[in-house]
């Protein structure tokens, strides 16, 4: 039995066609600003080192989110699983593997403030980079 919205979304996503042109969890920095990436971790208590991504570079790999102080100070951008991000001048463009993952991103991803970070302490190092 599916007991959480995430499991339901994942189950539905498996039934939908996946776009082969979207790479899993990549971040492309097409903007004029540097940014920081929080790598994906399966253990929220085990903070990993942040990754610096200069302008006009890409990061291939699994990640949780990004901080772009030049665009949004004191906020982090949550990127849900199975979605990739392209950072442009003043925005973050998200592409997801399916409409189900896109809906999940709209519901649970996006810009997060200090109150959200207080509830998710493993995001604190990334949030500090946004200040």
Domain boundary assignment for the chain = 5-129
Residue pair 123/117 in contact by the 8 Å Cβ criterion: yes
- Which has the higher per-residue pLDDT, 48 or 77? 77
Distance CA 75, CA 84 (A): 19
Q: Would the pLDDT of 117 be above 60? A: yes
What are the tens digits of pLDDT across the range 31-75? 889 999 999 876 555 557 899 999 999 999 888 999 999 999 999
Distance CA 1, CA 8 (A): 10
Residue pair 114/127 in contact by the 8 Å Cβ criterion: yes
Residue pair 94/84 in contact by the 8 Å Cβ criterion: yes
**pTM of the model as a whole:** 0.79
Say how many CA atoms lie within 13 Å of 10 toward its Cβ: 9
């Amino acid at each position: 039995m599916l007991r959480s919205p995430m499991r339901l979304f994942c189950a539905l996503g498996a039934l939908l066609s996946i776009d082969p042109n979207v790479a899993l969890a990549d971040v492309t920095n097409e903007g004029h600003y540097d940014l920081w990436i929080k790598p994906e971790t399966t253990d929220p208590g085990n903070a990993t080192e942040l990754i610096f991504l200069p302008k006009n570079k890409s990061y291939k790999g699994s990640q949780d989110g990004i901080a772009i102080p030049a665009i949004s100070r004191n906020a982090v951008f949550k990127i849900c699983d199975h979605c990739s991000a392209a950072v442009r001048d003043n925005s973050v463009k998200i592409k997801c593997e399916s409409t189900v993952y896109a809906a999940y991103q709209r519901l649970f991803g996006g810009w997060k403030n200090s109150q959200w970070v207080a509830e998710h302490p493993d995001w604190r190092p990334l949030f500090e980079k946004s200040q």
